[in-house]
Amino acid sequence: MAIYDSQTQNKSTRNSRAFRDIDLDFDRNIVTNDVNVVEDVVAIKRSVRNLIQTNYYERPFRPQLGSNLRAMLFELYSPQMSHAISKEIGLLLKNYEPRARLVNVHTNSNAERNGYEISISFYVVNFPEPVEVEAFLERLR
């Protein structure tokens, strides 16, 4: 599998960007004794997953960050609710994840497991292939 990274494919110094986030597993880097860093596609996939699981007022200094997906999970299963969840996820990624360009959000209700199976397809800046994130949103109460 070829690695598509801006530093290896692009010789220009103007438009090369590497995306780095802290690893939320908080594993220790043996060399630097610091927290590990996740890079590029893995960092953006984790960011997307964290965004869809964040509710309003959960982040202390950014109360507007998040969505109302948890409240939607207690509604009746219907095609309209699946569409509303898809639109909410699309709006969330458009507003708070500039590194990802959304292609498609597919939502499928699963009544046996009391939740929704979510499949999000998007393009990452400096990465030519579409990336897919799958998650399961379920009621917690």
Tens of pLDDT, residue by residue, the chain (141 residues): 445 444 445 454 444 567 887 887 888 888 888 888 888 888 899 999 999 999 999 989 999 998 989 889 888 888 999 999 999 999 999 999 999 999 999 999 998 888 999 999 999 988 889 999 999 999 875
Query: In angstroms, how far is CA 19 from the centroid of its own chain?
Result: 14
pLDDT the model gives residue 9: 52
Question: Is there a domain that residue 1 lies in?
Answer: no
Question: Is there a domain that residue 61 lies in?
Answer: yes
The CATH number of residue 122's host domain is: 3.10.450.40
Question: Is there a domain that residue 107 lies in?
Answer: yes
With contact defined as beta carbons under 8 Å apart, do 56 and 68 qualify? Answer: yes
Cα–Cα distance list, 79 to 7, 114, 119, 131 (Å):
43, 15, 16, 25
pLDDT the model gives residue 108: 93
Per the structure, the count of domains in the chain is: 1
Domain that holds residue 36: 19-138
pLDDT the model gives residue 4: 47
Question: Is there a domain that residue 8 lies in?
Answer: no
